[in-house]
Amino acid sequence: MDDIPAEIIQEMDDLYDKVPQLSSRYKLLDKIGEGTFSSVYKAQDLSNVSGRLYPDHFWDKNSKHVAIKRIYVTSSPNRIENELKLLELLSNSNNVAPLCDAIRYQDQVVVVLPWYPHEEFRHFYRDMPIKGIKKYMFELLSALKYVHSFGIIHRDVKPTNFLYNPILGRGVLVDFGLAEENEELYLPDLNYRVYVNDQGEKVCNCSSPYANNKKTSHLPLISIQNGQLNVRGANELSAAQSENLMKAELSKGYPKHETRRQRRANRAGTRGFRAPEVLMKCSFQTQKIDIWSVGVILLSFISRRFPIFQSMDDIDAFLEICCIFGIKPMQEVAKFHGLGLDMTKVPGFHSEGYPGGLQGFVRALLDKEVEEGTLPEYSIAFETLDYLTQFDKQLTPSLGPDDEEDIDDKIRSYKQAVWDDHFWCFDLLAKCFELNSYKRPSASDLLEHLWFKELNEDLLDRDQRREDHFTGVVE
């Protein structure tokens, strides 16, 4: 422990003092992470029980290492109870870190999880080839499919909460401190989340005049006041005032009508990963907010830039989304949530979004790196740049090996495969970034996307081989 900083050693000694029974079961080795609500330490399981609890996970079964999560005393008891309950509930998936042990002593709570050999996202996101990105996203969506099947929203999907091993191509979702369970989310039919307004339009239930029992108000608007993005209700105003408020002016200042109630909704999550409906304070948030976060991660991969969104507050986050997707689409989704939005006095934004869409946005970022000389000549990002310079010249990708029967050149075959992967990658990216959460696909839907065709076929082949093996054993 000579190379461990003195302050870390002091922290670990303090943890031993605060939780006396810890030292007889685990030996703390080093601090490996820290967040707002907890610190995480690498430790040795002295009884070597944890590694045998979940043999199908990808950690070294012979390793005695575990991760000790110390939850800060500032966390509410309800939050701690919720996290422990969800960890235990989700312990049967290979893509979710299971609960191995938990210790409570007075006001101290520590959680024991497996220690996974993994790489930090920052170490590989700029160099991972398109097929590696595909495998990463497949693993992440598989984890979310499982989590969402229990009606659980993770609420904090980001690279640091998905421990990935690029060599093994395996990953696990961690940190359910912000996750929430909602019985309504078990329902496969999402129609109950929309209602038809007086104009015959389908809108989110958060804008329904009958949603007051959900702690929402109606006739709200979006405004920026005192450095905050506010969504306020106007149901106490006169009809004439309410009609005027439906068109919000995005400008700094003080509210003209102090009687407006502020719309309340869960806004938990990490800056830069929050979906539009979270920023708009929709009170009918679903698992689809996690899918938006998946899109943010994929955009970081394909643009080779992390973090891709660098908002310091809700205002910046809202404007960043407007910059890429356009004012008009944002007005449409605002209307879906019963909000008004007027950005006519905010210069520099395109009505329909960034020229060229997501492809144009990514190409501009990569072109800038080439111009500044920050991409080495061997960078895998040039494959993406090559695709973006010619994707409009080839409108459809190949859909299978039959298209390559007459292609003998392996290099040409490889380039075609890279082109196909980029085509479907951007297609999936656009689906993750569907602004209307009602139309945004689920994790289960996305796993059936054509981008994952070969991975799904590999799974079928593996399952068939396993079935044939056990059939042979029985016979």
Angle at CA 222, nearest 5°, toward 219 and 226?
130
Catalytic residues: 156
3-state secondary structure 178-209: CCEECHHHHCCCHHHHEEECCCCCEEEHHHCC
Please tell me the predicted confidence (pLDDT) of residue 25: 94
Residue linked to tokens 């939780």: 19
CA-to-CA separations, 179 to 3, 84, 262, in angstroms, rounded: 36, 11, 24
Residue linked to tokens 């499982």: 146
Please tell me the predicted confidence (pLDDT) of residue 297: 99
User: From CA 102, how far away is CA 68, in angstroms rounded?
Assistant: 9
Phi, psi (rounded to 5 degrees) for 274: -80, 135
Q: What is the DSSP string of 365-413?
A: HHHHHHHHT-S-TT-THHHHHHHHHHGGG--S---SGGGGTT---HHHH
Domains of the chain: 6-117 (3.30.200.20), 186-299+307-336 (no CATH)
Cβ(294)–Cβ(432) under 8 Å? yes
* 344-399: pLDDT as tens digits: 767 778 888 999 999 999 999 999 999 999 999 999 999 999 999 886 665 556 65
* 292-318: pLDDT as tens digits: 999 999 999 999 999 999 888 888 898
Please tell me the predicted confidence (pLDDT) of residue 135: 98
Number of Cβ within 10 Å of residue 60's Cβ equals 12
- DSSP annotation of 64 reads -
Residue linked to tokens 């395996």: 170
Nearest to residue 298, comparing CAs of 325, 326, 273, 324? 273
* 106-133: pLDDT as tens digits: 999 999 998 988 999 999 999 999 999 9
Helices (H), 193-287: 239-245, 276-279
Residues of the chain with pLDDT under 50: 186-190, 192, 212-219, 225-227, 234-261, 407, 474
Tell me if the bond preceding 276 is cis, omega within 30° of 0: no
CA atoms within 13 Å, Cβ hemisphere of 423? 17
Q: At 78, which helix (H) or strand (E)? A: helix 77-89
Angle at CA 208, nearest 5°, toward 202 and 212?
160
Residue linked to tokens 């490996």: 32
Structure tokens at 102: 């938990």
User: From CA 45, how far away is CA 27, in angstroms rounded?
Assistant: 7
> Given the DSSP bridges, would you call strands 194-196 and 152-153 parallel, antiparallel or unpaired?
unpaired
Number of Cβ within 10 Å of residue 208's Cβ equals 19
Please tell me the predicted confidence (pLDDT) of residue 289: 97
